[in-house]
Amino acid sequence: MKRRVFIIVLDSLGVGALPDAHLAGEEGCHTLNHIISLAGGLDVPRLQAWGLGNMDTVEGLQPAAQPAAAFGRLAEVSPGKDTPTGHWEMMGCPLDFAFPVYEEGFPEDFLTEFVRRADLPGYLCNRSYSGTQVIADFGAEHLATGKPIVYTSADSVFQIAAHEESFGLERLYKVCEIARELLMPLNVGRVIARPFVGELGAFERTYNRHDYGIEPPSEMVLDRLVEAGVETVGVGKIKDIFCGRGISRSILSEGNRDGMEHTLQLARDLESGLVFVNLVDFDSLYGHRRDAIGYRRALEEFDGQLAELETLLRPEDLVFLTADHGNDPAFTQTTDHTREYVPVLVGGPGLKNPINLGIRGSFADLGATVEEALGLDPAAPGKSFLDQIQ
C-alpha cells in the first residue's frame, strides 16, 4: 500500500478533565480552553476548519459549519499522565499501573551508588522542581563544584541538568546511562539529560536533551508495522519514548518549527509509511512554564504549517492530530501535567466521512485505526474507527 499516515502529537494539548482528574486535585482542568481565555483568544483557521471548535467542552473557538476532518476526544485508560504512558497507549500498549514518583527526592542509597559509579563529587537539589528555575537556583553552585543538578517532578523522572561546556555533553549522557541502569529495579519511567549553556543569570536549556526510558511491556502497533515492512519514521523524541522499538528511521528536531519542517520534507519525499511526530515545545516551553500567550503563538504557528502540509498530501494520505496528556496553564499551583482527554482530528485526502467521533474509550483506538489504514488487521485493545471515516 502506498498510503502515508501522519500522526502529529501536539504535546500536552488537553481538552478537558478526565473523570478521575479529581484524584490528583485537577478537576476543572482544560488546557485548550484556558489557553484561549488567558491569552485572549486563538487564531487557528485550519484547526477550526478541522473541527477543533466542534468538540464537546471546547469554548472560545467558532465551530465549523461543515468540518473538513473527523473530530472527537480520546480518553486515557492508563492511570498515568506522562509522555511515555500516553504514547504507549496510543500505540496499543495501555498500562495497568502508574510509574512511581519521587517528588520528595530519590532514595539516599541510590544516590550514593550513583555518585560512586559516575565518579561525581556529589549532586545538587534532589527534589521536585521547575526545569528552568532549577538551573537558575543551582547553576552557580553547579559551575563552582562540578556537581550535577538532579531533580524530578510529578512524573516518574530522574532529570540531570549540567552545563554543556563545563561539565561536558557526552559526560552528561554517560552519567544518565549509569542512572538509568541503577533505576531499573525502581521502575522509574525516564532518566532525562537536561543540558544547558550560558553564563550566570542567563542560563538556557538546549535541544540536546536526551531521554533514557524503558521499553513498552507488550507488543505495539509500531512493532507490527515494522515487522510487516512498513517504514516508520519518528520525528523529535519519538525514538526515545519507545526506546527505538518499532521505529525504522529517526529524525531529531530542535523544537516545533524544526519538527514541522522535517515533517513537510517527509510529505514531499516519503513514498509510503508512517510519520510519527512529537512537537515538544507546546509542553516544555509553554505548558510547564504556564505561558498561555506563548502556547497560543505556538498553536497559531502550527496552524500555518498544517495548511502547508495539506498542500503536500497525496490522494490516500491521512493526518491524525492528537496529544498525550494535558498541561493546563491555569493550574499555577504546580508546573506539572494535568490528566485530561486529548483531541483526535483526522483529515487529509484519504478521509471520506468527516464525522463526530465522540469520546473514544482509549488512546489505543487511534493506533488501531492507523494500523488498519496501513493495511494490517488492527489488534486489541484498540478499536479501529477507519470504517466510520471511510
pTM of the model: 0.93
What parts of the chain have a pLDDT lower than 70? 1
* pLDDT attached to residue 173: 98
Q: Name the grid cell of 17.
A: 478533565
Q: What is the pLDDT of residues 271-288, one digit of tens each?
A: 999 999 999 999 999 999
* Nearest in space to 324 (alpha carbons), one of 102, 88, 159: 88
Question: What are the structural domains, with CATH classification, of the chain?
Answer: 4-95+217-389 (3.40.720.10), 108-212 (3.30.70.1250)
* pLDDT attached to residue 62: 95
* pLDDT attached to residue 334: 86
* pLDDT attached to residue 1: 63
Are residues 23 and 275 in contact, defined by beta-carbon separation less than 8 angstroms? no
* pLDDT attached to residue 228: 97
* pLDDT attached to residue 370: 98
Q: What is the pLDDT of residues 216-246, one digit of tens each?
A: 999 999 999 999 999 999 999 999 999 999 9
